[in-house]
Structure 1
Amino acid sequence: MKKTANEDLVREHHPEAIEQRLKQAPKSQNISDAVLGGIDGCVTTFAVVSGAVGAGFSSSVAIVLGFANLFADGFSMAISNYESIKAQQEFTEDIRRSEENHIDEIPEGEKEEIRQIFQRKGFNGKILEEIVETISQDRHLWVETMLTEEHGIQKTTPNPWKSAITTFAAFLIVGAMPLIPFLIPVLDMQQQFVLSTCFAAIMFFSIGMLKSLVFAKPVLISGLRTLLTGGTAAGIAFLTGYLLREIFGIG
Structure 2
Amino acid sequence: MSKVFHLNLSTCGLGFTIAGGVDAPLEDGSTAIVVRDIHECGAARKAGLHVGDKLISVNHKPLVNVTHQDAVELIKDAIPSQHVTLEVDRANMMSDVTVDKGDGAAADRLTLARKAFEAHDPELSRLAHELGAAPERHQTEAGQYVKAAVFGGMDGIVTTFAVVASVNGADLATGVVIIMGFANLIADGISMGMGEFMSALSESQYTLSERVREEWEFDHNPEGEIKEMVDLYMEKGFSEEEATQIMTIMAKHREFFIDHMMVEELGLMPPDEGESPAKNGLVMFLSFVAFGLVPLLSYLALSTVDFGSNKSDALFGIACAMTAVALFILGAVKSRFSTQSWYMSGFSVVINGAVSAGAAYLVGLGLENLVSLNDCP
Equivalenced residues, count: 249
Shift of 1:25: 9.1
Shift of 1:135: 2.3
1:208 and 2:331 equivalent? yes
CA contact (8 A) 2:193 2:281 kept: yes
Q: 2 CA distance for matches of 1:207 and 1:122?
A: 43
- The higher radius of gyration belongs to 2
State the partner residue of 2:297.
180
1:154 and 2:273 equivalent? no
Shift of 1:2: 5.6
CA contact (8 A) 1:12 1:18 kept: no
State the partner residue of 2:46.
none
Q: 2 CA distance for matches of 1:166 and 1:236?
A: 29
Q: 2 CA distance for matches of 1:126 and 1:26?
A: 43
Q: 2 CA distance for matches of 1:228 and 1:46?
A: 13
Shift of 1:95: 1.0
- The match for 2:321 among 190, 194, 198 is 198
Tell me whether 120-129 or 55-64 shows the greater mean CA deviation. 120-129
Shift of 1:217: 2.3
For the structure 1 residues 76 and 57, does the alpha-carbon distance in structure 2 shift closer, same or farther, using more than 3 Å as the test? same
Shift of 1:12: 4.5
1:14 and 2:109 equivalent? no
State the partner residue of 2:284.
167
For the structure 1 residues 173 and 207, does the alpha-carbon distance in structure 2 shift closer, same or farther, using more than 3 Å as the test? same
Tell me whether 56-65 or 100-109 shows the greater mean CA deviation. 100-109
Q: 2 CA distance for matches of 1:120 and 1:20?
A: 37
Q: 1 CA distance for matches of 2:235 and 2:134?
A: 28
For the structure 1 residues 216 and 136, does the alpha-carbon distance in structure 2 shift closer, same or farther, using more than 3 Å as the test? closer
Q: Which amino acid aligns with 2:329?
A: S
- The match for 2:176 among 57, 61, 67 is 61
- The match for 1:229 among 347, 352, 360 is 352
Q: Deviations over 1:2-49 (max 9, x none)?
A: 65367875555337x437439x79988433312211111011111111
For structure 2, the residue ranges without an aligned partner over 5 or more in a row are 1-95, 101-115, 117-122
Q: Deviations over 1:34-87 (max 9, x none)?
A: 221111101111111111111121111110110111111011101101111111
1:51 and 2:166 equivalent? yes
Q: 2 CA distance for matches of 1:141 and 1:207?
A: 37
State the partner residue of 1:217.
340
* Percent of residue pairs bearing the same amino acid type: 30
Q: Which amino acid aligns with 2:352?
A: T
Tell me whether 99-108 or 237-246 shows the greater mean CA deviation. 99-108
Q: 1 CA distance for matches of 2:97 and 2:248?
A: 44
Q: 1 CA distance for matches of 2:147 and 2:280?
A: 9
Using CA pairs under 8 Å that are at least 6 residues apart, name the structure with larger relative contact order, 1 or 2.
1
Shift of 1:126: 5.3
Tell me whether 39-48 or 122-131 shows the greater mean CA deviation. 122-131
Q: 2 CA distance for matches of 1:10 and 1:26?
A: 26
What RMSD, in angstroms, separates the aligned Cα atoms of the two structures? 2.9
Q: Which amino acid aligns with 2:318?
A: L
Q: 2 CA distance for matches of 1:76 and 1:87?
A: 16
Larger strand proportion, structure 1 or 2? 2
Q: Deviations over 1:90-147 (max 9, x none)?
A: 1111211221232244332111012223334444465533322222233322321211
Superposition TM-score, scaled by structure 1 size: 0.86
Q: 1 CA distance for matches of 2:325 and 2:347?
A: 11
Shift of 1:213: 4.9
For the structure 1 residues 166 and 88, does the alpha-carbon distance in structure 2 shift closer, same or farther, using more than 3 Å as the test? same
